[in-house]
Amino acid sequence: MNFILSRRSIRKYTTAPVEEEKVVSLLRAAMSAPSAHNQQPWVFVIIDDREVLGRIPDFHPYSSMLLHAPIAILVCADTSNLSSPEFWPQDCSAATENILLAANSCGLGSVWLGVYPKEELMKGLSRLLELPENIQPFALVSLGYPAMEKLPSKRFDPARIHRNHW
């Protein structure tokens, strides 16, 4: 439970690169997420080119941490052959959360940058990364070794829990 409860959005990173085996581990975690009808629509773009990372804040207003992040992962959906296309955002949400939790468990800091359903953000990333038409950008995860520390948040609120009826 500790790596779940201690996960926080980390927006400042050291200059240390993220090891390739950790990136692969994060993607293994992402692809282990639950998926409606087992569609597994997720596909991922690893972004570690400084120039590319530096261009994202030009159109994504909440992504300035990418100017110093060593790497980011764009979680996308391949919508070309989905039997239940209405579920891909849920599937990609689960994959994104798994990346965040896995990052925390291996000592990395991360932050979920929303993309979908904002058309201007989706189009900006599609253009920048030359995504095919059937690939829908969903979320961008900024990653790196934390250069800041945040205490676990205390979000548990029993008043939000109802049993059997409202």
With a cut of 50, which residues of the chain have pLDDT below it?
none
User: Per residue in 32-41, pLDDT tens?
Assistant: 999 999 999 9
C-alpha span between 43 and 143 (Å, rounded): 17
Distance CA 23, CA 11 (A): 18
pLDDT of residue 136: 98
Altogether, the residues listed in the chain come to a count of: 166
Q: What is the pLDDT of residue 8?
A: 97
| Cβ-count burial 140-153 (b if 16+ within 10 Å, e if not) | bbbbbbbeeeeeee
The pLDDT assigned to 19 comes to: 98
Structure tokens belonging to residue 11? 């927006």
Q: Is 2-148 a CATH 3.30.930.10 domain? A: no
CB 49 within 8 A of CB 17: no
CA distance 113 to 128: 16
Concatenated DSSP letters of 56-71: GGGT-TT-GGGGT-SE
Rounded-to-integer distance, Cα 55 and Cα 22, Å: 25
DSSP string covering 84-141, please?
SGGGHHHHHHHHHHHHHHHHHHTT-EEEEEE-TT-HHHHHHHHHHHT--TTEEEEEEE
Query: CB–CB of 51/25 below 8 Å?
Result: no
pTM score over 0.85:
yes
pLDDT above 90 coverage of the chain, percent: 99
Give the pLDDT score at 125: 98
Predicted pLDDT at 158: 96
Residue 78's pLDDT is what? Answer: 98
Sequence ranges of the domains in the chain? 2-148
Count of other CB atoms within 10 angstroms of residue 105: 16
